[in-house]
Amino acid sequence: MGRKEENIKKAEALVHRKDRIRNIGTAAHIDHGKCNAPETRVWVNGQWIRAEDLWSRFANRRPVPNSYDADVRDVREDSLWTRSLDLRSGNTGFAQITHAWRLRATEPLVAIETRDGRRIRTTPEHRYVVANQDGLVLREARALSKGDFLAVPRRLPSRDDERDWDDLEEAMLQRLTSDPRFQFHLSRTSGSAQQRAGPLRGEDLITIGGGHVSSDLFREIEAVSVRGPGIRGRASRSIRLPNRGELEGFFWLLGLMYGDGDGLARIHMADDEMIGRARDVVNRLTSCATITRYPARVAHLNPGSTAFMRLLQVVFGYPDRRKARSIRVPDLLYTAPLPLAAAFVRGYFDADGTVERTRSAITATSVSEEFLDGLQLLLLRFGIRAILRRQRAKNTLYVSGKRNLERLPLFSDLDKATLQRKLEGEASTSYVIDLLPVDWRRLAPNDYKSRFYMAAGQRPSARSLLTMADVDLSTVDALLSDDLSFVEVKDIRRSAAEWVYDFSVPGPQNFVAEGLFIHNTTLSDSLIAGAGMISEELAGQQLFMDYDEQEQARGITINAAIASMVHEFEGEQYLINLIDTPGHVDFGGDVTRAMRAIDGVIILVDSVEGVMPQTETVIRQALKERVRPVLFINKVDRLVNELKITPEQMQQRLTKIITEVNARIRKLLPDELREKWSLNVESGNVAFGSAFHKWAISVPFMKRTGITFRDIYKHCNEGTMKELAKKAPLHHIVLDMVIRHLPNPLEAQKIRIPIIWKGEPESPLAKAMLSVDENGPVAYMVTKIIVDPQAGEVAAGRLFSGKVRRGQELWVIGMPKAQRAQTVAMIVGPDRIPVEEIDAGNVVAVVGLKDAVAGSTVSDDREMQPFEKIVHYSDPVVTVAIEAKSTQDLPKLVEVLRLIAKADPSIQVEINQETGEHLMSGMGELHLEITIYRIQHDYKIPVVTSTPIVVYREGVAGKGGPFEGKSPNKHNRFYFAVEPLEPAVVQAIRAGEIPSGQRIKDPKGLAKKLEELGMPREEAKNIVWIQDTNVLVDATKGVQYLHETMELIRQSFIEEATRKGPLSGEKLMGVKVLLDDAKLHEDSVHRGPAQVIPATWRAIYGAMCQAGRILLEPIQKVFVNVPQDLMGSVIGDLQGRRGVIEDIGQEGDHVIVNAKVPVAEMFGFATAIRSATQGRALWSTENSGFEPVPDSLQPEVVRAIRTRKGLPPEPYDEAYYAS
């Protein structure tokens, strides 16, 4: 019997021991998603695919249920494999991606650059694998510091490095057939040739292949030609496709061209032998290659065939213009047979590679940063971890270190190959790649060499450690893995993005992106692991409590999940029924209902973020239900790793949190409970720790063990929390606290029953509930309805008295018929464990109560007085209008809305029978999104809904600037001015008459159009970029080096300034930005992106401050058709919503009121107008653009937006941007 099954047996035995039962909940605010930027390349099936592109492949697929604020797709059937790291062993292996998801970024991303040149952007919560003294640990991006060492893959093999070459030939032919200019000539002996005579087009080949192309068909092609205007003579000659024996030479030639070729596929080289060999390779395919030699110039090889050049472009993406800057590593190379990838690498290094003995490295240079970036990733196929130095005019790739040099393909040139072999023999380890981030003093304290290396400030390599005496490798086994290298974090900065993406990998929960390992929880899972229900190794990875498909993909708790577990305390077994409640405010209704089922709650507070509004709401809900709280302060490691505070400051912050929570508890408690239930660290009802790292402490535990805050600080600071988790395991400390301080049902119900049930206090039922009598009447409160695909509706809740048996007849109070309990079960996450009966005091699931809703009272006594109604502290705040696309679905929609309201009382549904409009209100946007999804996908009803989101924009009231923006190094200055863009220009852009977001193709035509619309001529002639309805104008005169810098200015304008304005972080609208002047450093090194981009957006923001920033809100036109005698009620309601009445018309005995109303004021309008007109009004709306928020309201709205985004409440003034 497994550990889980053994504990389930124990739980079944304990359901009768009321003194050994604890019904508890956990409650906390939500964590943000752990995601990657759109451009992040993820290693999938051997390819490097941008996160945005990978997700887009599945965008049209049915979303996963409960998507909430994310678009999630199930990709388990798509066989997407990535490389994943086992943190315990340090070994890597293949792991499957199960879900792909996207959501809108809510805060700036953390951009990381490592010392080997890799770059990646993730959300602050995304975790990296960090190597330190204790091996491999996980650390959030926001907690990383410069100097941290990340574990990275040294080698990324394909799942089958000896992959059938057929795949490559099929891929090549597939691309060729997609180009209509190619014509194909099949061999006369080919069976396929019998079917068609003469040259064939690509679509003909696909037809011959039965709808697809194959490697067999590839081999039947005798020649390929290109036809089109201007292609004649030698250039029109057909070519032969390379056969298996020729592919390696062809790929070598391809590498040579990427190094020394031009946009016409000509190779320019001084090496006569090399260019002669290249000609031979070309001639095997074209028979028309020529070499031309010029005096005092290098020779060039001309393939002499348009078909050959076109093949390179179509199959490999070879650029036809600006080749040097435009080349990219062909994507076929990442999955091509390894010998072919090696041939390409050899060819490229033959052209552009250099053996630099002074650097002990082989280097290659290119002006194309993207090419070398891709080449660095390609070399991982060979187990080569190269170093990329990125520079504006000259990027360099370095291969150094003995392990890397041994795996690099040899140069073709004999002299270079000799130097390469000599360099291999002389090389040792790479300082950047091969050294371990460990301390000699701990690993080899007695070896004389360790003292020498320590004095020199050097780190050891794996090889050096293994040759030393008395080395203690017990803590660093994982670091010695051949699969890993360790690179230092070189730079950390913040960066903006609109969308972010992530990919779920069960088990190890990490994958390779941009050549790094990145990780994708938590208190409930760690508690259950400690109780033996899931393995401790999976706790925090498996997301056991988040068993909903979307919860596991998204990494948040949405529904109140229930689990029963067994914990041993002071030699006795205890049954703990744990409800992990949602943290998201939109699902607060689940929290409220969960409080009725539990007797105690663990309040979770983030040590850095402190007490949040949701925390106070949870405390209020708990105390109203007389649910006793204890406190767990989570993520204490963040205080050390992020805030860098001292042990004394850590104690002060923890004390402050305890004081704040205590103040809220004491304020809401009655006198008789105030002292008893207050938090007291000395008594042990407060614990601190890290749910993710699975450690916790309390003051009694510290006194008992001698652990101090300084010890905690040291473990966090040194990253040795695995050791701390062994000394102070989370589940022991927290569950001990639960058993010691939270009441059992016998104690709790004496306090709770008088609050939640108002029946006769001396009645048999009252006495049975107060004493938790299993022989009394059944008193069962349903707190949740779970819709199960197999079992149907499952009622889950708390049994306060009596005993529920399988097959028992029960009454849902208020319903006319008794119903039979078909199944009685305990709940463990996604599993229901059937039992014959469960006694009072337990949380129980019952199948068969068809009439029950969340909040129902169930009893075996039909006349039982029901429990008090569950009161929600948060009323629905967002309303959408929802209609069936087809009138035939209207009755079905009405029934579905009734079922939804039954399962989730937080949803309020009102139906206006006269207008056919259904008004659905919820706790927030996410709450409604899930409901709308269920209607459309679970119940198969196509619906149309209104949009409940208010989108604001930012603009300027007048002119401002020129405002000076200084680069961080103070070597560059930019002077920007801003003013409102001419309204006619804004309208033209919105109407699509003037393109935006793209390169200006016809500057003269654009200037003429803008001048006609009222823009001054000089400005119209110098437009740099149009982004949405914002324009960047170059108004400078004769600024040196500006042309070289303008691309960065444009980038800052697009990606920073217009995307998030200075007022509230909303997009800009209708702003003209003029670059008035600039003073630039003569050396380009001093005016790179890190200097120009921030100086640009800060100057634009400063100018906007001077111009007067305004917030623009969306406006709707509202048309209400209402009987004349009710007109006053309609007008009064509209004006009360800041509406402006524009016209009142009359049609018979009805009037039509036309008004303009801000969208922000329209929530709840349907309900209000229905009430005011007794349902006799017909109304509709349409968008009417944006208008400024009134001056009197703007500060309040801005503060609300900024607070919601986590920004300081007040926007910065111009002095801030001038600093």
Strand order in the sheet with 99-104: 70-74, 99-104, 499-504
What is the number of residues in the chain?
1219
Residue 1189 confidence (pLDDT): 93
Confidence band (pLDDT; 50, 70, 90) for 504? confident
Q: Which is more confident, 1020 or 143?
A: 1020
Residue 1175 confidence (pLDDT): 54
- Rounded average pLDDT over 391-405: 88
Q: What Cα–Cα distance (Å) separates residue 79 from each residue in 6, 96, 98, 99, 1166?
A: 35, 7, 9, 11, 48
Helix, strand, coil shares of the chain, percent, nearest 5, are: 35, 25, 35
Q: Are 412 and 350 in contact (CB under 8 A)?
A: yes
Q: Which is more confident, 486 or 453?
A: 486
Please give the share of the chain, as a percent, with pLDDT higher than 90.
32
Confidence band (pLDDT; 50, 70, 90) for 385? very high
| 586 has pLDDT over 50 | no
- Rounded average pLDDT over 1112-1121: 80
Mean pLDDT of the chain: 82
Counting Cα atoms < 13 Å in the Cβ hemisphere of 386 gives 27
Alpha helices in 475-573 (DSSP H): 523-530, 549-554
The whole-model pTM stands at: 0.53
Residue 873 confidence (pLDDT): 47
Residue 1042 confidence (pLDDT): 92
Residue 543 confidence (pLDDT): 36
Confidence band (pLDDT; 50, 70, 90) for 964? very high
Residue 1145 confidence (pLDDT): 80
Residue at token pair 């169930």: 858
Highest mean pLDDT among 71-80, 913-922, 967-976, 1150-1159 belongs to: 967-976
- Give tens-digit pLDDT for 368-384: 999 999 999 999 999 99
Q: Looking at 102-106, 337-341, 447-451, 1188-1192, which range is the least confident one?
A: 447-451
Angle subtended at Cα 56 by Cα 53 and Cα 59, rounded to the nearest 5 degrees = 170
Q: What Cα–Cα distance (Å) separates residue 887 from each residue in 336, 891, 892, 894, 938?
A: 55, 8, 10, 12, 19
Q: What structural domains and CATH numbers belong to the chain? A: 3-29+523-746 (3.40.50.300), 41-154+480-519 (2.170.16.10), 166-426 (3.10.28.10), 440-475 (no CATH), 757-859 (2.40.30.10), 878-945 (3.30.70.870), 953-1107 (3.30.230.10), 1111-1188 (3.30.70.240)
Q: Looking at 222-236, 723-737, 768-782, which range is the least confident one?
A: 222-236
Q: How crowded is residue 788: how many other Cβ atoms within 10 Å of its Cβ? A: 11
Distance of CA 64 to the CA centre of its chain: 16
**Torsion sign (Cα): 1204, 1206, 1209, 1215:** negative
Residue at token pair 């003037």: 994
Name the nearest CA neighbour of 701 among 653, 669, 737: 737
| 932 has pLDDT over 90 | no
Q: Which is more confident, 172 or 1147?
A: 172
| 522 has pLDDT over 60 | no
d(CA 378, CA 336): 11
- Give tens-digit pLDDT for 46-58: 889 999 999 888 8
712 φ/ψ angles, rounded to the nearest 5 degrees: -60, -45
- Give tens-digit pLDDT for 295-338: 777 888 888 888 899 999 999 999 987 778 889 999 999 989 99
- Rounded average pLDDT over 412-438: 86
Q: Which is more confident, 1171 or 995?
A: 995
Residue 609 confidence (pLDDT): 67
d(CA 974, CA 1081): 12
Residue 821 confidence (pLDDT): 93
- Rounded average pLDDT over 341-353: 94
Residue 1103 confidence (pLDDT): 96
d(CA 138, CA 128): 6
Name the nearest CA neighbour of 746 among 771, 764, 775: 771
- Give tens-digit pLDDT for 140-161: 888 888 888 898 888 888 765 4
Residue 536 confidence (pLDDT): 38
- Give tens-digit pLDDT for 765-801: 999 999 999 999 999 999 888 767 577 788 889 999 9
Angle subtended at Cα 94 by Cα 90 and Cα 96, rounded to the nearest 5 degrees = 125
Q: Looking at 124-128, 1039-1043, 1067-1071, which range is the least confident one?
A: 124-128
Q: Which is more confident, 1005 or 506?
A: 1005
Angle subtended at Cα 514 by Cα 465 and Cα 256, rounded to the nearest 5 degrees = 95
Please give the share of the chain, as a percent, with pLDDT higher than 70.
82
Task: Pull the structure tokens for residue 795.
Answer: 């009622």
- Rounded average pLDDT over 866-892: 74
- Give tens-digit pLDDT for 875-885: 454 667 788 88
Residue 646 confidence (pLDDT): 86
In the 8-state DSSP scheme, what is residue 506?
T
- Rounded average pLDDT over 167-192: 84
Residue 193 confidence (pLDDT): 46
| 1043 has pLDDT over 60 | yes
| 4 has pLDDT over 60 | no
